[in-house]
Structure 1
Amino acid sequence: MGDFTLLSKGRPKREQVEGKVVWITGASRGIGETLAEQFASLGAKLILSARNVIELERVKSKIIVKYPGSNIEILPLDLASGEEDLKGAVNQAESLFAGCGVDYMVHNAAFERPKRKAVEETVEGLQATLKVNVLGPIILTKLLAPFMIKRGGGNFVVMSSAAGKCPAPGQAIYSASKHALHGYFHTLRSELNPKGIKVTVVCPGPIETSKASEAGSSEKRHEKRVTAERCAELTTVAATHGLKEAWISYQPVLLVMYLLQYMPTVGFWLMDKVGGNRLKAAKRKGNTYSWNLLFGEKKRA
């Protein structure tokens, strides 16, 4: 359920995060909530951000019960709020723990729209997705990076998606937003690596979460998904081992990612074959990650 390099690394390195400050966006549910638990289990100090303060308080209480003595602060945040508000959030995050700035910035928050054809996407949907998935993380990084550079090190962990590596029929805008993150953060790493800044881009495929979105809940019954707990564990492995990129998924998603990485002509041919069938599967709330997409829908009597 992970790429070869990721699975070869074993367990997370506790010494890399113990006592360090980890700031997680989108921490009120799903993978963000589970990531917070994973980092708390490794002894990290946590800053939890999302728009829903009540849910953040719930996550905080849950972690403290499970890991007594955990140091957790809540910092409400809306990634679409603009540069001034994000600047205030960064300044606050840098001062929440005395003598400690942010060591790990985990960009997890994301906006995912229901599956639909690329040409049917609205301008409003495009703007809403890019504000949260692209502009928010980039602005936050731009504001936080100078603090890390001044301290001589820092880590950005970017929760991307398999859709950031592959075409994703029915998810054109979401896929575009994740491709944009790859371009920005891989470039950022190459620029700031000499200054001690590390970047890990994580690409999960379909993930099983306890609070699946309404758009994905009907599909969840049909698709084999990696659990949020396993995804979070492998993410901490990637982050603490300093991997530049990590893939987390079951087949056939991993195979497609490998084909597109190393045999792009074959990979794109394959995606062109399944594209229309995936849209049909999404429309009927079926399995959008099945091998059967290669052969189309079965004729019904």
Structure 2
Amino acid sequence: MLLLALPLAGAAAVAFLLFKFATVDGDLTLVSRGAPRREKVDGKVVWITGASRGIGEVLAMQFAALGAKLILSARNREELERVKHKIINKHPDSRVEVLPMDLSSGEESLKEHVHAAESLFSNAGVDYMIHNAAFERPKRRVLEETEKGLKATFDVNVFGTITLTNLLAPSMMDRGMGHFVVMSSAAGKVPSPGQALYSASKHALNGYFASLRSELCTKGIKVTVVCPGPIETPQSSSATSSSQRPSSEKRVPVERCAELTIVAATHGLKEAWISYQPVLGVMYLVQYMPTVGLWLMDKIGAKRLDVAAKKGNAYSWNLLFGGKKSA
């Protein structure tokens, strides 16, 4: 009986792991960490860019619930004030400051904003810098991209983000502590047909911040790079009706994405992936079996552009097993 039980137990364990991997919404290290650690952010100053909507807004709400002091930045002051009032209405004891900022405004302007942020909350400085702001264009073919689009994407996603980091990091090092949390993308880990410029900008961020971590980890500086796949935000749900989006497209809710981002940061993870299948599986393949993973992406590349143009499911297994690609 024992000899029979052991193979059955092994088969059951494998089946459980396969089921878990098929239904999980993040990489296995991330989802094993449990809840966010409140003690890591309670009373800390958290500066969030792109905080006027989407993931940034929800991150602000969740950090406030954990007792963080918030600095909210984006270009639209009115929207930032809306988020601030929303936070205070839900968490009356929260301390929230609004700091409007354009990441593409250049080094001198960003230097002034860093000085202002460091001076808030009785010159407490910034403990967590959440790089969430991003410029994303509609999906289009690589050869349709223009120099104007390239500049607009990199000015915000790369140059502005890196410049802000370079200006803020010295103050963090002087205090012997600081944490950069970078909202990258699955498109920064794998090819993303139809999003070449966005994907390139996120690959650039991944390379920069991985290098920054290695250089400054002994100076008390931490870096967490978060790579979400498709996320369900109020904007994405309103932009595409249920009749346009196939029911098989499953996006991680924005609240869950924000929660897992804070889990990754407060547990000190260096990198975290947030997505359902099939995107998560593709990320694992490209990371650990690149020949297979990149072959798979080549199979679906042109099909994904066709599906996206028809407002269909651009994250489906049907891209691999469905119809022929366009010429």
Shared fold per TM-score greater than 0.5: yes
Q: Contact 2:251–2:276 at 8 Å: present in 1 too?
A: yes
What residue identity is the alignment partner of 1:217?
T
Aligned partner (choices 59, 80, 97) of residue 73 of structure 1: 97
User: TM-score, normalised to structure 1's length?
Assistant: 0.96
- SS across alignment from 2:117: helix
Q: Which runs of 5+ in 1 are unaligned?
A: none
What residue identity is the alignment partner of 2:271?
E
> Counterpart in 2 of 1:262?
288
**1:217 matches 2:237:** no
Shift of residue 211, structure 1, vs aligned partner: 2.1
Q: Contact 1:30–1:212 at 8 Å: present in 2 too?
A: no
Structure 1 residues 56-81: Cα deviation after superposition (integer angstroms, max 9, x where no partner): 00000001111111000000000000
C-alpha separation between the residues in 1 aligned to 2:268 and 2:245? 34
- SS across alignment from 1:96: helix
- SS across alignment from 1:91: helix
Structure 1 vs Structure 2: percent identity of aligned residues?
73
- SS across alignment from 2:235: coil
**1:242 matches 2:265:** no
Shift of residue 8, structure 1, vs aligned partner: 0.6
C-alpha separation between the residues in 1 aligned to 2:65 and 2:228? 21
C-alpha separation between the residues in 1 aligned to 2:230 and 2:200? 17
Residues 1-301 of structure 1 aligned to structure 2 (within 5 Å)? 1-212=25-236, 217=240, 221-222=245-246, 223-297=249-323
What residue identity is the alignment partner of 1:173?
L
Shift of residue 284, structure 1, vs aligned partner: 1.0
Q: Which runs of 5+ in 2 are unaligned?
A: 1-24
The aligned length equals 298
C-alpha separation between the residues in 2 aligned to 1:217 and 1:104? 34
C-alpha separation between the residues in 1 aligned to 2:126 and 2:161? 15
Q: Contact 2:245–2:311 at 8 Å: present in 1 too?
A: no
> Counterpart in 1 of 2:18?
none
Shift of residue 283, structure 1, vs aligned partner: 1.2
- SS across alignment from 1:56: helix
C-alpha separation between the residues in 1 aligned to 2:82 and 2:236? 18
- SS across alignment from 1:212: helix
What residue identity is the alignment partner of 1:242?
G
Structure 1 residues 190-240: Cα deviation after superposition (integer angstroms, max 9, x where no partner): 0000000000000000001112398x6369833211011000000000000
Q: Contact 1:218–1:285 at 8 Å: present in 2 too?
A: no
C-alpha separation between the residues in 1 aligned to 2:296 and 2:183? 25
Output the aligned Cα RMSD.
1.5
User: TM-score, normalised to structure 2's length?
Assistant: 0.89
C-alpha separation between the residues in 2 aligned to 1:206 and 1:238? 18
What residue identity is the alignment partner of 2:97?
E
C-alpha separation between the residues in 2 aligned to 1:175 and 1:263? 20
